[in-house]
Amino acid sequence: LTTRLRPFTATIFAEITELARKTGAVNLGQGFPDTDGPESMLRVAQEAIANGVNQYSPGMGEPELRAAISEHRAARYGIEHRPEDEVLVTCGATEALTAALIALVEPGDEVVLIEPYYDSYPVAIAMAGGVRRTVALRQGEDHRFELDLDALRATVGPQTRALVLNSPHNPTGTVFTDAELAAIAEVCRENDVIAITDEVYEHLLYDGLEHHPLATLPGMAERTLSISSAGKTFNATGWKIGWVCGPAELVGAVRAAKQFMTFVGGAPFQPAVAHALRNELDWAEQLRQNMQRKRDRLAEGLTDAGFDVLHSEGTYFICADVRPLGFDDGEQLCRSLPERIGLAAIPVQVFCDNPEPAKHLVRFAYCKKDEVLDEAVRRLHKLR
């Protein structure tokens, strides 16, 4: 393995899921739902396979899906993307992110992440030969994480090529406020930085919060690559249908990298996702409401079990402080939990360059059936 990839051998998700499998633990670690997406979407994929949609798609993706993505962005956020050259279909949001960084970052360029960060970002920066800089989210007084705007301004400068923003944010569940988004947009404009936004949880915000894509802020459309995928919106994480939208020049650069990574992918799933974006947004809204109830159910259970629970405003995830139960290292705890009480969860410190402030935090996924959440809580009570 090259020196630039050596720090990144095993992903925490694979490690913990393997531990969960071996011990038969309830898995609130890796974030994936345990029910299927809308039936009509599944049917369209089956019909596509039966009807011979089984060969390579066009390089940019199936035209029908690019049109549906463009319509969805226009209807929901008022952003116009030409389906011909401003929308690119990718193998999940993961490929879109990696291809974007490889396409746009020169060796030595700085890329700014907000930490804790999603685990593929630092690896993609390393693959591109870029230099990672991070700005930490701080735990605020109201149990919400907030962005340190002074740290942001001190970290982004003329040496910065790109900034990656994930809102709603994995692992904290934070939805960035309009003031935080405005500050991010301002530093991007002032320093001529490309924003890469990971919006995979764009449909999963709770308590009346709304998703505001960074690209909708003044001066940002021309410098933003907006990334999302069908995985979280339609319970289809295994399909790996993602996309990236933005100005033709930037999307063209991502395509240049993407075409030699996978060329294309998931042909029969593409018309199914197009169908879902056009016809199943009510289903997605039902999912959102269910997920909000599940968040509350797990938050209550974790509180009863003795954790200090932080606020989750969106995503699949909720973080809890393990210190009230007498633990001080979340990673140690997560590595022992499957064996000890038959439960899997993810330590937050592994998503940080500076693990110290996150050392006591553990992330739980609530995108699971109620009985699974309840069983997890029953097991967590044994920690006392």
Please give the residue ranges that form the binding site for ligand GLN (CB under 6 A).
11, 13, 30-31, 170
Binding at 299: pick from ligand GLN, ligand PMP, none (beta carbon under 5-8 Å per type): none
Asked if 166 is part of the footprint of ligand PMP (rule: CB under 6 A), the reply reads: yes
338 cis-preceded (ω within 30 degrees of 0): no
Q: Which residue is nearest to ligand GLN (CB)?
A: 31
Contact status: 29 vs ligand PMP (CB under 6 A): no
CB of 315 to ligand GLN, least distance (A): 9
Which of ligand PMP, ligand GLN, none is residue 275 near (CB under 5 to 8 Å by kind)?
none
Three-class SS of 16-82: HHHHHHHHCCEECCCCCCCCCCCHHHHHHHHHHHHCCCCCCCCCCCCHHHHHHHHHHHHHHHCCCCC
Q: What are 288's two structure tokens?
A: 């959102």
> Under the criterion CB under 6 A, does residue 196 sit at the interface with ligand PMP?
no
User: What character string, x for contact with ligand PMP (CB under 6 A) and - otherwise, covers 232-251?
Assistant: -----x--x-x---------
Q: Are 121 and 96 in contact (CB under 8 A)?
A: no
- How far apart (Å, rounded) are the C-alpha atoms in residues 343 and 341? 6
226 near ligand PMP (CB under 6 A): no
Q: Choosing among ligand GLN, ligand PMP, none, which partner's interface includes residue 247 (Cβ < 5 to 8 Å by kind)?
A: none
What tokens appear for 30 in the block?
């890796």
Q: Which is nearer to ligand PMP, 211 or 379 (CB)?
A: 211
Number of residues that bind ligand PMP (CB under 6 A): 14
Yes or no: say if 206 and 291 are a contact pair by the CB < 8 Å rule.
Answer: yes
By beta-carbon proximity to ligand PMP, the closer residue of 118 and 366 is 118
On the CB side of 9, CA atoms within 13 Å amount to: 3
- Binding at 271: pick from ligand PMP, ligand GLN, none (beta carbon under 5-8 Å per type): none
Residue 231 interacting with ligand PMP (CB under 6 A): yes
Taking a C-beta distance cutoff of 8 angstroms, is the pair 89, 60 a contact? Answer: yes
Q: Taking CB within 5 to 8 Å according to partner kind, which of ligand PMP, ligand GLN, none is near residue 13?
A: ligand GLN
Q: Would you count residue 314 as binding ligand PMP (CB under 6 A)? A: no
Question: Using an 8 Å Cβ cutoff, are 114 and 135 in contact?
Answer: yes
CB of 170 to ligand GLN, least distance (A): 5
The residue range among 36-44, 133-141, 229-237, 328-336 that interacts with ligand PMP, by the rule CB under 6 A, is 229-237
Q: Which CB, 5 or 256, lies closer to ligand GLN?
A: 5
**Shorter beta-carbon distance to ligand PMP: residue 200 or 380:** 200
Within a 13 Å sphere around the CA of 219, how many CA atoms are in the beta-carbon half?
14
Q: Which residues are within 8 A (CB) of 311 and not within 5 positions of it... i.e. 6 or more apart?
A: 142, 143, 144, 173
Stretch that binds ligand PMP, among 92-100, 245-253, 255-263, 332-340 (CB under 6 A): 92-100
CA distances from 197 to 56, 64, 137, 194, 296 (A): 27, 23, 17, 10, 27
Between vectors from CA 262 to CA 260 and to CA 267, what angle results, nearest 5°?
Answer: 135
Residues engaged in binding ligand PMP (CB under 6 A): 31, 92-94, 118, 166, 170, 198, 200, 229, 231, 237, 240, 242
